[in-house]
Each structure stands twice: as structure tokens, then as C-alpha cells.
């Protein structure tokens, strides 16, 4: 009788334990890589061409600035020059979309799946949105 | 536990579970799966739908441990008792089935179609064609239509948002099943439900089962008359089509068993 009860219980209890083990594995140990597309703002220094706009006003009015050396003293330049103290680069902020991989545990992945937030594309998981999570499943 | 009391208990338990699945505390724990067929896109869904997660998991080529773990755990303990007592979509069909219209029976072999749905629409098509396929399970699911598409459409209309109309195919499938629920018992469960197909397999081994005691049998045929699904009450301890509504337990020869299985069930002519 005891053996019969044991035989009767062993399969469902084994399966129930397997179910619990699968759930625990999914919650704490199973993670997958999801590619997020993120807008990244980068700061770049772009070189600028020298222009005569940075001449001093006094230079513009002086004849020496226009190549007339007759009235000038020593050291006056013969043509328009760029002041060496001005920066040669312009700082510009550029926005671009970059792929950012992130490991997601299964509960988080499940939440994304319920709203169609993850798709399988070219052999990798990609998030389908940027910013706020979609409110509804696409189906 | 006999007829009237059992029936009353069942409706009460189904109502209680319906309330539990409808997220009364607004927890939205969609990182975990419920053991029943309840669309997670429902505005009031406590947990994720295990079949929806299996289909989506197949589409993204990822093994869904949590969904399968929940199905295996509850299947091993209760088998298809989940279908008969806890499933909200089954409850809806039960309520529609109470409308007094002529009922016809579906052939027993029709139950095998559920496995085709499981293998084809839930596993195969999502795996090979992704979630954009028109045959992706969630795009056809009538439970998703009534629990998610319709309430969300109403919510959008009430709040003045642009209405996202559900697919007409989905709505047509829902209408077909609601209409057919008037003329046959639980048409979705007996013909198409992939979750019921899985739980039906667990009926062979689940901890809880219906036990037949031949010593108490008086050949009154009550078990056959009360069974609304396959007319094989006393042999249905492991029948994959059984939803374990336990209506057959009106008969004194049938009880719920846990520790010992009654193998005598096979000795009686069905």
C-alpha cells in the first residue's frame, strides 16, 4: 500500500518540483540580451576655417590692415590676419541613434512581451520602442 | 459533496477566481504567468497569459521558463481542474451554456485539434514567421478579443482617445465562439484551447484525480447523464478532454482522489 502511494505521488510531485525549479530559474538566473536603441547626444569639436571676421576694429580702420605700409610703423602686418587667441574649433552637440545591449531577466522580458516591447530581428532581440513603454499589445 | 452544493460551489469558485484575475489591487504583475487563459492585454489583468507568453517566447526564440514552470506546476497538481474551476474564458462559456437552447455534442476526436493549435499557432508559426504573421496565435485569440480589444476600445472611446479598432478576423472568431457556446458546451475548450490540451495531458499523472469506486456503482448511469463533455465520466480520470467540472460526482461511485488511484475505472463498460 505504501509503495502504491509512493508510486502514485512520485510523478506529480516530481513534475511540481520541476515546475517550481523552472520558475526559479526563470526569475533569478535566466537572462537574455536585448538591444535598446537609444538617442545619444555627443559633443564634438569641429574645426572652423579662419575668417577675417575676427580682425580688430582698430585694424580695419588703420591703413596698415589693408596693406598700406607707408603710414605704418614697425611690425604692422601687410594683410588681414586671424587673431591667434581665438579658438580654432566649434563645439557642437550631435544626436545619433546607438545600439545599447542590456541583459534582461525573464520577469522583465515577460513584461515587455505583454506589450510587444521586444521583437526578434536578425538573430537578436531588439526593443521596439524608445522612451515610454507601449500601453497595449500590438495584436 | 453532491449535485446542488457542488454546482453552487463551482460558480462561486469561478467567480472568485475571475475577480482574482481581474487585478482587484491593481498589481499588474505581468512578469509572472497565471495558470489560466486570460489575456494580459486586458486592462484588468493581474498576471500574464501563459499561452501568450509561450507564443511570444517562440516568436523571439527564447525559452519561457516562467510560463512553462507555471503550467507544469499547476498541471501536475490539478490537471484540467484549472479549466473547470478557475479559467475565466471557460466561465464565460459556462454562463452562455446555461441559456436554454438546444445543445449538440462535438465528436470526441475533435479534441485532438487542440494539439494542432498548440503546435501550429502557438509554437510553429510564431517561431518561423514571427509575431507579425496573421496566424500568430494572439492575433486570432477570442479571449484576447473579449478581454482586451473590446474593453480597450470602450476605454478609448470613453476617454476621447482615437480608437484602435481590433482586427475584424479576431472579432469574427470571438462572435463565432460566443454564438456556438449557446449550442454546444465550451466550444473553445473542446476544440481549440491549447492550454486545455496541455492540462489534459497532465490528467494522466496529476495529484488530484476523479476516483471511481465500483463497489458503490449501481449502474444508474447518472455519471453519463451529468457529464457534458465526453459522456465517459467514470473513465475520465485521465481523459484529456475532461475539464474536471466534477459534475459527475453526483454519483456516489465517484470521488476526488489524491493518494491512491483507482484502476478499476477501466473495468467498467463506457
The interface predicted TM-score (ipTM) is 0.87
pLDDT of residue B5: 62
* Alpha-carbon distance values, A24 to A29, B53, B175, B246 (Å): 8, 17, 39, 32
How close is the nearest chain B Cα to the Cα of A37, in Å?
A: 17
Confirm whether pTM is higher than 0.90.
no
Residue of A nearest to B262 (CA): A8
pLDDT at B43 over 80: yes
Distance of CA B169 to the CA centre of its chain: 22
Other beta carbons within 10 Å of B246: 22
Contact B61 A120 (CB under 8 A): yes
Mean pLDDT of A32-48: 85
**Mutate which of A3, A15, A32, A139 to test chain B, going by most B C-beta atoms within 10 A?**
A139
Residue of B nearest to A118 (CA): B60
* pLDDT band of B238, cuts 50, 70, 90: low
Check if the beta carbon of residue B38 is closer than 8 Å to that of residue B89: yes
The single-letter DSSP state of residue B122 is I
pLDDT of residue A87: 62
Contact B48 A22 (CB under 8 A): no
Query: Shortest CB distance from A119 goes to which of B41, B60, B167?
Result: B60
Question: Which chain B residues touch A16 with a CB distance below 8 Å?
Answer: 72-73, 76-77, 207
Cα–Cα distance, B179 to B270 (Å, whole number)? 31
Nearest to B65 by CA among A124, A18, A82, A71: A18
Of the two residues B259 and A100, the one the predictor is more confident about is A100
Of the two residues B123 and A135, the one the predictor is more confident about is B123
Cα–Cα distance, B81 to B97 (Å, whole number)? 19
Residue of A nearest to B139 (CA): A139
Q: Which tens digits make up the pLDDT trace of B204-227?
A: 889 988 777 888 888 888 888 888
Question: Which chain B residues touch A32 with a CB distance below 8 Å?
Answer: 62
The three-state secondary structure class of A8 is helix
In sequence order, the β-bridge partners of residue A43 are A93
How close is the nearest chain A Cα to the Cα of B197, in Å?
A: 17
How close is the nearest chain A Cα to the Cα of B123, in Å?
A: 15
Cα–Cα distance, B91 to B71 (Å, whole number)? 19
How close is the nearest chain A Cα to the Cα of B66, in Å?
A: 4
* pLDDT band of B92, cuts 50, 70, 90: very high
Cα–Cα distance, A93 to B267 (Å, whole number)? 82
Cα–Cα distance, B77 to B88 (Å, whole number)? 19
Question: Which chain A residues touch B170 with a CB distance below 8 Å?
Answer: 139
Amino acid at each position: 500500500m505504501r509503495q502504491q502511494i509512493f508510486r502514485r505521488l512520485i510523478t506529480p510531485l516530481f513534475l511540481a518540483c520541476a515546475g517550481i525549479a523552472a520558475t526559479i530559474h526563470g526569475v533569478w538566473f535566466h537572462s537574455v540580451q536585448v538591444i535598446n536603441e537609444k538617442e545619444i547626444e555627443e559633443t564634438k569639436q569641429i574645426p572652423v576655417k579662419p575668417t577675417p571676421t575676427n580682425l580688430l576694429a582698430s585694424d580695419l580702420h588703420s591703413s596698415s590692415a589693408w596693406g598700406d605700409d607707408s603710414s605704418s610703423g614697425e611690425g604692422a602686418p601687410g594683410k588681414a590676419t586671424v587673431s591667434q587667441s581665438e579658438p580654432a574649433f566649434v563645439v557642437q552637440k550631435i544626436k545619433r541613434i546607438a545600439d545599447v545591449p542590456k541583459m534582461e531577466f525573464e520577469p522583465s522580458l515577460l513584461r515587455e512581451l505583454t506589450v510587444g516591447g521586444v521583437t526578434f530581428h536578425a538573430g537578436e532581440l531588439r526593443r521596439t520602442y524608445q522612451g515610454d513603454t507601449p500601453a497595449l499589445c500590438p495584436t | 459533496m453532491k449535485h446542488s452544493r457542488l454546482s453552487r460551489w463551482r460558480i462561486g469558485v469561478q467567480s472568485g477566481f475571475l475577480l482574482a484575475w481581474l487585478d482587484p489591487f491593481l498589481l499588474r504583475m505581468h512578469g509572472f504567468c497565471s495558470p489560466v487563459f486570460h489575456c494580459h492585454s486586458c486592462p484588468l489583468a493581474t498576471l500574464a497569459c501563459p499561452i501568450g507568453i509561450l507564443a511570444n517566447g517562440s516568436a523571439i526564440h527564447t525559452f519561457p521558463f516562467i510560463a512553462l514552470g507555471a503550467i507544469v506546476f499547476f498541471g501536475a497538481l490539478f490537471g484540467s481542474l484549472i479549466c473547470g474551476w478557475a479559467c475565466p474564458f471557460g466561465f464565460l462559456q459556462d454562463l452562455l451554456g446555461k441559456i436554454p437552447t438546444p445543445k449538440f455534442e462535438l465528436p470526441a476526436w475533435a479534441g485532438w485539434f487542440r494539439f494542432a493549435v498548440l503546435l501550429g499557432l502557438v509554437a510553429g508559426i510564431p517561431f518561423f514567421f514571427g509575431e507579425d504573421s496573421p496566424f500568430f496565435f494572439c492575433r486570432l485569440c477570442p479571449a484576447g478579443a473579449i478581454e482586451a480589444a473590446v474593453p480597450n476600445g470602450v476605454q478609448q472611446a470613453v476617454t476621447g482617445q482615437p480608437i484602435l479598432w481590433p482586427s475584424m478576423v479576431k472579432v469574427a472568431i470571438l462572435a463565432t465562439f460566443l454564438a456556438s457556446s449557446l449550442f454546444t458546451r465550451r466550444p473553445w475548450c473542446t476544440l481549440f484551447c491549447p492550454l486545455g490540451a496541455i492540462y489534459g495531458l497532465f490528467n494522466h499523472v496529476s495529484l488530484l484525480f476523479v476516483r471511481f469506486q465500483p463497489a458503490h456503482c449501481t449502474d444508474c448511469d447518472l455519471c453519463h447523464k451529468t457529464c457534458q463533455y465526453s459522456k465517459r465520466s467514470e473513465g475520465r480520470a485521465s481523459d484529456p478532454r475532461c475539464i474536471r467540472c466534477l459534475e459527475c460526482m453526483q454519483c456516489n461511485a465517484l470521488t476526488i482522489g489524491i493518494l491512491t488511484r483507482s484502476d478499476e475505472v477501466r473495468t467498467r463498460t463506457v
